[in-house]
Every structure is written in structure tokens, then in C-alpha cells.
């Protein structure tokens, strides 16, 4: 009897699915997130799970449970999701868990916060394994964070870890959440893209959008940003410098408050820019530490793209 | 047999001692902190304990243990203290625990961080009793903080809770720690005084120093600031506005990260300015919350001046 579980990481750009058996990833699939409506997104999640199952050579009937990490506000008890700005149709309430469960003949589906899933993935099976106290900060479309304190994921009243919406510059750049000066307004991929468009409109030169078009993309993806950086595109360098400074400041504040063992940097942009980006964030953080002689370890993720999907399957274990 | 313990809160301005028996404060004394050297400060701590014992009508031989909350870097294992900028002679290493123990014939003396002691006082015997997750922020000469998470005081690697040195304004006002834009640089009493002196030198009008002299003080104490506020002194109003904004921002960032149940505001300045100050901080915080519809409870201390000294005796119980 196979005891396989499926994990899904729902993002604004892509849906990543994995099938895990006995702790190993035995199948995976990545589908683009439809930019239409909620029904299409749910159908694509179901399709991505089927693709990952095929990849694993496992039939749907052998799935013990499915776990989905979702952005937005997640009602863990009911599997409903809302207020996910980056996923089409997910600002309104979506019965994500029940709908995916129905598509798999009533298989158990749990839904939890995407970032908490990713942190649990790194904690149990990735870069966080040696630590009992760390923050995972995921720099992607937006910026999310999750805290492991004394070996436990911190939930708070349900919303702990929102480092992306801590203020790094009072009165600063407008964030997607409408407040000013959030970390996400400087380090989130979407905000970097929007800021670049505004600067371009104002006459600043940049190769960013040429690179985007050459790569056949309709948005400034992490790899577009990486290529522009490699080409030393001035605006991109400037915007990434600001992202690094903002991350350094927010992480130093976190460290000063919590005195953690480690900081793990991931997410689409974090993973793509990789080690040099992580080292720059470490330096920017060090300058703002209260006790710079005892800095936390700063490192990248081990699971990379799969942190969220693998982490979702970890949550099944934690829940059972 | 009396089972009395003594608790001391060592501050840059005053030494507060209490004697506690069966959970009640049965004696107390407050001595000014000598502005000379470490030996004088240690002698005054010993004298303050004797005063509190007299007040309680208890002899030194009946003391089971003494607990001292100290600023600076505390080596909990040895009772040594260093890097306490605001206490004369305490930047260098001082064998505080051993020296006080010797003065009381070898009685057990424990030394811990002053702010952590104050937080434990509020947690076990003050405003924090209903909560398992809160931050205590103590606005006094400097700004300190301590976290209770899941019913446990967070130590981290020994330095958790340094909210006073989180950055609220990058490139902003110079802090006593030499970095720029720390919360303490805006909300600490000493920094408020220094900023007022600089502004006065630059020609800005203020009654702050007249009030100080009229009250026979050689520094701008919390009650001097309170009086100047009552008289609507413009510079003081401006500086306290900035302190409120800085506290609101740092506490909102903390809340966004940790999703706490409550925030407790104390310290010399916090206690003196009282409820109106606490309510203003609450408002400033609300404006920066990620989820303003579910704010934490914000309230003042219950033990006031005695948080630290009572809290030190609580630490004796926790340690034994």
C-alpha cells in the first residue's frame, strides 16, 4: 500500500504540485496560474495534482491526503480562502478545500497559509533542520514570512509572520496593501515591476522590459530581474539595492526583537538571485544589528521552488 | 519562618528595592543611583535592600534570596554585569551578584536583565496575567522590551526583546547605541532631553529646562516632561508626538510579525504619562497594523514603578 500525499503551493504566477511518499518527492508538476477566474484556478490545481501523480506513476485512489498552501486569508477549519490579491478570483471567498476534495472523490484536503507551509518544509526537510528558532522570509510576488520559535511554528491568532508588512520606511513607497513603506513595497517582485514601470514612464532608461519581451514574458519575472542584474541594468541594480536594504533592515529589527539562531531567505526572487543576494541581505542586516558580534546564520532555502509544496505535505503529518 | 525575598530594580536614575513575602510586597525603598562609580552603586543597592527590610520589619538573616534586575549585558550564570551605559562604572565588568551576596553573608543573589524582570512582574502579578502572548515595552531613560510567547519569557540566545533598538526611521536621529533611527532615539527620556537641548541651543523656545530647574532637578525627568506637556510647551509636545509615532510604528511591526494578544506599556516615562499616552500609542499603532480589525489589547502596567523589583523576585521562583 502506497501512503502517498500530494502537496500544492498556490502562487500568483504558478501552481507547484508534488507527490511525496515515505518522505521523498516521487513526482512533481508545475502549471502556470490561470489569469482568469477562481474556477479556472481550482481546475488547474486539480490538473497539477494529476500531472504530479502521473509523474510519480501513482493513481489518484492511492492518495491518502492533499495539502494546499495558499496565499490570502485561510480558514484552516473549513478550507476556504479569501483576500488573496495575487490569485485571480481569490479576493472573494473560494471553497478551495471542499472543491479540490470533490474532484478527488472526497479525499481529505487541508488548506493552510502558503508561507507557513514553506517554513515547515524548510524546518522539517530543508535548511531549517539544524535550528529551533528561525524566520523564513520568502521574497516572491510579495514578501511573506514564517517563524519557528522553540521548535514550533508560530501562528499567533492566525496571522503571525507578516514581515512583508512591517514598515521599513515611514511615508515611503506605496504597498499593495495600501499602506506606505512596507518591506513588500521594496522587495516584492510585483512592486519592483510597478516601480520600474513608473520610472520608465518618467523617462528613466532600463533594459528590464526589453529583456521581459525577449524572454516572451508578460510580467517581470524573477529570471527577468536576474538577467537585467547580470547585464548591470542601472534601474534594476538600483531597485534591487533598495530591496536588499529593506530586507536587511526588517530582518535586523526581527533579530533585535527575537534573537534568533537563523534567517532563511527563499521565495521565487530569493531563490533565483541565490547566494549573492542572500550574502548581500546578510551584510545589510549586520549594519542594523544591536549585537553585531553575534549575528544569526543567514542562508538560502534547500528545497527552493518546492519549499511550499513539500511543506504542505509536512503539515498533513503535523495535523494527523 | 518568614520566607522573604528581596527584589531590586537597578536604573540609571534610581534603585528600587522591595521585600516580598508570600507574594505580597511587605517593604519597599527607593534610593537615587549615585553618579560616581560602581562601588558606590553596589553599596547603594545594599543600602536600599536594608531600607526595604527595615520598612518590612524583617531582619537580613530572614532573607531567602535576593534578585536584581540590571540594565546592560548580564551574565546570568555568574551575576556579572557590563555595558550598562546609564549606570556609573557599569560599562566595565562589575561582579554585582557576588558583591551583593558577600554584603549579605553569602545569601543567594541572582541577577537578570531589568526589562525581563519587569515583564515577568507584569506577567505573574500585574497587567499581563490574563495573557499568554504579549510584549512589555518600558519607556524610561531608554526603551526596553520583553516578550512573553506561549506563556514563556523569550530569552533567545540571551538578548531577545530589544525593541528599543529596532529602526523606526532609517538614517534618522542618532541613538545612544550610535546607530541611526532607533526607537529609543525618539522615545527614550534621555534622548528626548538631549534633542531638546540641541533644539534650545539652536534657538527654539521651550519651558522644559525652566520647569526642570523649578523642580530642583538636574535632568529632564519624566515628571518634568509631564509638566511641560500639561503646560502645552510646544517643543515638548513635538518631541512627545515623535515618541508616540515611533512607539506606534515599532509596536505595529512587532504585532504584524508576532500576532500578540496584548501590548503593555510601562517604564518611568510610560507610567508617568499614563493612560492618555497609552491610548495615543494605541492609535499610532493601529494605523500601521496589517490587520487593524483585530488589534491587540494595549494597556499600561499594573505594578508601575515596582514592575522591575517585584519581577526580580518572581525570577527567583522561576529559577528555583
- The model's pLDDT over B227-276, given as tens digits with 9 standing for 90+, comes to 999 999 999 999 999 999 999 999 999 999 999 999 999 999 999 999 99
Query: Check: CATH 3.30.420.40 for A129-301?
Result: yes
Q: In the Cβ-directed half-sphere of A45, how many Cα atoms lie within 13 Å?
A: 31
> Which pLDDT value is given to residue A267?
93
Angle among Cα B189, B201, B270 to the nearest 5 degrees reads: 15
- In angstroms and rounded to an integer, the radius of gyration of the C-alpha atoms of chain B is 19
B259 and A157 in contact by Cβ < 8 A?
A: yes
Report which secondary-structure segment, H or E, holds B25: strand B24-32
The residue in chain B having the minimum alpha-carbon distance to the alpha carbon of residue A159 is: B259
Provide, as residue numbers in chain B, all residues whose Cβ is less than 8 Å from the Cβ of A261: 157
Question: E strands, B73-177, where?
Answer: 73-75, 80-82, 108-113, 134-139, 143-149, 152-153
Q: Please, where are the H alpha helices in A126-217?
A: 183-187, 189-201, 208-214
Could you tell me if B259 and B293 are in contact, meaning their C-beta atoms sit under 8 angstroms apart? no
3-state DSSP assignment of residue B81? strand
What number is the average pLDDT over the span A69-84? 92
Give A-chain residues touching B156 at CB under 8 angstroms.
Answer: 133, 258-260
Q: Which fold has domain B4-118+307-319?
A: Nucleotidyltransferase; domain 5 (3.30.420)
Instruction: Report the alpha-carbon distance of residue B72 to residue B94 in Å, rounded.
Output: 11
How would residue B158 be classed by pLDDT, with cut points 50, 70 and 90?
confident
Whether pLDDT at A23 is above 90: no
Residues of A in contact with B176 (CB under 8 A): none
Interface confidence (ipTM) of the complex: 0.90
pLDDT for the residue numbered B167: 97
Among B253, B254, B261, B284, most A C-beta atoms within 10 A, so best to mutate, is B253
DSSP state of A306: G
pLDDT tens for residues A126-180?
Answer: 999 999 999 999 999 899 999 999 999 998 877 889 999 999 999 999 998 899 9
User: What is the per-residue pLDDT for B2?
Assistant: 58
**Quick check: B319 pLDDT over 80?**
no
Half-sphere exposure of B160 (CA within 13 A, CB side): 24
Inter-chain CB proximity A257 and B145 less than 8 Å: yes
Residues counted in chain A? 320
Say yes or no for a CB contact (<8 Å) between B259 and A133.
no
Mutate to test the interface with B, among A156, A183, A284, A293 (most CBs of B within 10 A): A156
Tell me the sheet residues that pair with B30: B16
Q: Is the pLDDT of residue A2 over 70?
A: no
Looking at the DSSP bridge assignments, the partners of residue B26 are none
- Count CB atoms within 10 A of the CB of residue A105: 9
CB contact under 8 A, B258 and A157: no
Q: Are A189 and A225 in contact (CB under 8 A)?
A: yes
Min Cα distance A77 → chain B (Å) is 19
Query: What tens digit of pLDDT does each residue of B71-121 get?
Result: 988 998 999 999 998 899 999 999 999 999 999 999 999 999 999 999 999
Residue pair B15/B44 in contact by the 8 Å Cβ criterion: yes
How far apart (Å, rounded) are the C-alpha atoms in residues A265 and B187?
Answer: 32
Q: Of B241, B170, B244, B163, nearest to A168 (Cα)?
A: B170
How much is the pLDDT for A90? 96
Tell me: the pLDDT tens digits for B275-295? 999 999 999 999 999 999 999
Contacts of A115 (CB under 8 A, 6+ apart): A69, A71, A136, A138, A144, A145, A146, A161, A308
Asked if pLDDT for residue A66 goes beyond 60, the answer is: yes
| pLDDT score of B157 | 78
CB–CB contact A149 B147 (8 Å): no
Domain with CATH 3.30.420.40 in chain B: 4-118+307-319, 129-301
Of A149, A162, A179, the CB nearest to B149: A149
Q: Which residues pair with A94 in a beta bridge?
A: A81
- pLDDT reported for residue B145: 95
Give B125-137 pLDDT, tens digit per residue: 999 999 999 999 9
Identity of the residue in A158, A245, A253 whose CB atom sits nearest the CB atom of B253: A253
Mean predicted confidence (pLDDT) in A8-24: 93
Position A85 confidence tier, pLDDT thresholds 50, 70, 90: confident
Average pLDDT, chain A: 95
Q: How far is the alpha carbon of A61 from chain B, nearest alpha carbon, in Å?
A: 39
Averaged pLDDT, A56-76:
93
Output Rg (C-alpha) for chain A, integer angstroms.
19
Residue A233 pLDDT > 90:
yes
Residue contact A160–B258, C-beta within 8 A = yes
Q: Which residue of chain B is at minimal alpha-carbon distance from A166?
A: B253
pLDDT tens for each residue of A263-319: 999 999 999 999 999 999 999 999 999 999 999 999 999 999 999 999 999 998 877
Q: Is A88 left (phi over 0), alpha (psi -120 to 50) or beta?
A: beta
DSSP state at residue B204: -
- A261–B145: do the CB atoms touch at under 8 Å? no
Beta strands at A80-82 and A73-75: parallel, antiparallel or unpaired: antiparallel
Q: Which residue of A has its CA nearest to B165?
A: A290
Cβ contact A158–B259 (<8 Å): yes
Identify the burial level of B174 via C-beta atoms within 10 angstroms of its C-beta, where 0-12 means exposed, 13-18 middle and 19 or more buried: middle
Q: Compute the distance between CA of residue B174 and CA of residue B180 in angstroms, rounded to an integer.
A: 5
Q: Are the Cβ atoms of B257 and A252 closer than 8 angstroms?
A: no
Chain B residue with the nearest C-alpha to that of A148: B258
Strands A134-139 and A143-149, sheet pairing: antiparallel
Residues of B in contact with A155 (CB under 8 A): 259
- What is the band of A73 on the pLDDT scale with cuts at 50, 70, 90? confident
CA nearest to B188, candidates B220, B153, B155, B234: B220
Burial B51-89 (b: 16+ CB within 10 A, else e): bbbebbebebeebbbbbbbbbbbbebeebbbeebebbbb
What residues of B are in contact with residue A143 (Cβ under 8 Å)?
Answer: none
**Strand ranges inside chain A, DSSP E:** 4-10, 14-21, 24-32, 63-70, 73-75, 80-82, 108-113, 134-139, 143-149, 152-153, 262-266, 297-300
Decide if pLDDT at A1 tops 60.
no
Q: What count of residues does chain B have? A: 320
Taking CA atoms, B266 is separated from A63, B103, B302, B303, B307, in Å, by 54, 31, 9, 9, 9
Note the pLDDT tens digit of each residue in A198-227.
999 999 999 999 999 999 998 999 999 999
Amino acid at each position: 500500500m502506497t501512503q502517498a500525499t500530494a502537496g500544492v503551493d498556490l502562487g500568483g504566477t504558478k501552481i507547484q504540485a508534488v507527490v511525496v511518499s515515505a518522505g521523498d518527492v516521487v513526482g512533481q508538476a508545475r502549471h502556470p496560474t490561470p489569469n482568469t477566474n477562481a474556477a479556472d484556478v481550482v481546475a488547474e490545481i486539480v490538473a497539477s495534482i494529476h500531472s504530479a501523480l502521473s509523474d510519480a506513476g501513482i493513481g489518484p485512489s492511492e492518495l491518502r491526503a492533499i495539502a494546499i498552501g495558499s496565499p490570502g486569508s485561510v480558514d484552516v477549519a473549513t478550507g476556504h480562502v479569501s483576500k488573496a490579491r495575487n490569485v485571480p478570483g481569490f479576493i472573494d471567498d473560494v471553497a478551495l478545500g471542499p472543491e479540490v476534495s470533490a474532484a478527488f472523490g472526497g479525499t481529505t484536503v487541508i488548506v493552510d497559509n502558503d508561507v507557513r507551509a514553506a517554513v515547515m518544509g524548510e524546518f522539517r526537510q530543508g535548511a531549517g533542520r539544524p535550528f529551533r528558532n528561525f524566520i523564513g522570509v520568502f521574497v516572491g510576488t510579495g514578501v511573506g514570512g514564517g517563524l519557528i520559535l522553540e521548535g514550533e511554528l508560530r501562528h499567533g491568532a492566525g496571522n503571525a509572520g507578516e514581515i512583508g508588512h512591517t514598515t521599513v520606511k515611514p511615508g515611503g513607497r506605496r504597498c499593495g496593501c495600501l499602506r506606505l513603506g512596507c518591506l513588500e513595497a521594496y522587495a516584492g517582485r510585483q512592486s519592483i515591476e510597478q516601480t520600474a514601470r513608473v520610472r520608465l514612464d518618467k523617462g528613466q532608461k532600463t533594459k528590464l522590459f526589453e529583456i521581459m519581451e525577449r524572454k516572451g514574458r508578460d510580467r517581470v519575472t524573477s529570471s527577468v530581474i536576474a538577467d537585467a542584474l547580470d547585464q548591470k541594468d542601472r534601474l534594476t541594480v538600483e531597485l534591487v539595492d533598495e530591496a536588499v536594504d529593506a530586507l536587511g533592515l526588517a530582518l535586523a529589527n526581527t533579530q533585535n526583537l527575537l534573537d534568533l539562531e537563523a534567517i532563511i531567505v527563499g521565495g521565487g526572487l530569493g531563490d533565483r538571485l541565490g547566494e549573492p543576494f542572500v550574502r548581500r541581505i546578510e551584510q545589510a542586516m549586520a549594519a542594523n544589528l544591536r549585537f553585531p558580534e553575534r549575528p544569526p546564520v543567514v542562508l538560502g532555502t534547500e528545497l527552493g521552488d518546492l519549499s511550499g509544496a513539500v511543506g504542505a505535505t509536512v503539515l498533513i503529518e503535523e495535523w494527523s
